[in-house]
Amino acid sequence: MVPSSPEDVPLMVETYFEAFSQDPIHQRFAPKGTQSAHYFWTQALTAEIRDKNNQFLSVWDDTASPKAFVSFAKWIAPRASPEPVPAVDQWPSEGDQGFSAFFFGRLSDMHYEAMGERPHWYLELLAVKPRYQGKGAASLMLKYGVDKADEDKVECFLDASPKGQPIYERYGFRVVQSDTFLEGTYVQCAMVRDARPQRGD
């Protein structure tokens, strides 16, 4: 695992679409294979990776020839503000822009309701290519953030899809709030990991 670089952005975009190709929420707001969704993620990640408050991590498979990009994650450092939720017309035009604004606006509200102004590490995005899922890449990137939080003696926060929730629970995250979408068929959870005091404190 290494810090991501701006040169990784095309690989990150590709990995995002592979990782979430079966997720109904992501397919609704950023349909795979559409030009507007590809442009949206390329522009967003290009800008965000230059922000020093954002800790982007990349995992590579060095045993492949040539080495292969496996996954990436974005952690936001304590006291940094998450990017504002885009206006309706700023979401990919080939997706459902109204739903996108509503869904991510609700996640933003849940984040604030859970954490308020308390400093915390925030895992905003984690994506692993399907063929590498279940092989430890997500754990590497999760451990980075929770270790940082333990060093800082602060909480961690993330939003979890149904598929991701069990993974995060293994790292001490607990559900503090949830909401349903897509006519009750999709549950999105706000999850918090409590601050862990250092030994000797």
pLDDT band for 196, please (50, 70, 90 cuts). Answer: confident
The pair of structure tokens assigned to 178 is: 């949830």
Residue 131 lies in a domain: yes
Summarize pLDDT for 146-187 with one digit per residue, the tens.
Answer: 999 999 999 999 999 877 888 899 999 999 999 999 998 999
The range of the structural domain enclosing residue 88 comes to: 2-193
Instruction: Write down the pLDDT at residue 84.
Output: 82
The pair of structure tokens assigned to 35 is: 């030009």
Residue 125 lies in a domain: yes
Summarize pLDDT for 41-94 with one digit per residue, the tens.
Answer: 999 999 999 999 999 999 999 998 999 999 999 999 998 877 788 899 999 999
Q: How far is 101 from 1, CA to CA, in rounded Å?
A: 33
Q: Into how many domains does the chain fold?
A: 1
The DSSP code sequence of 28-87 is HHS-TT-HHHHHHHHHHHHHHTT-TTEEEEEEEETTSSS-EEEEEEEEE-TTPPPPPPPP
The CATH number for 36's domain is 3.40.630.30
Summarize pLDDT for 3-25 with one digit per residue, the tens.
Answer: 999 999 999 999 999 999 999 99
Give pTM, 2 decimals.
0.93
Residue 145 lies in a domain: yes
The answer to whether 198 touches 165, Cβ cutoff 8 Å, is: no
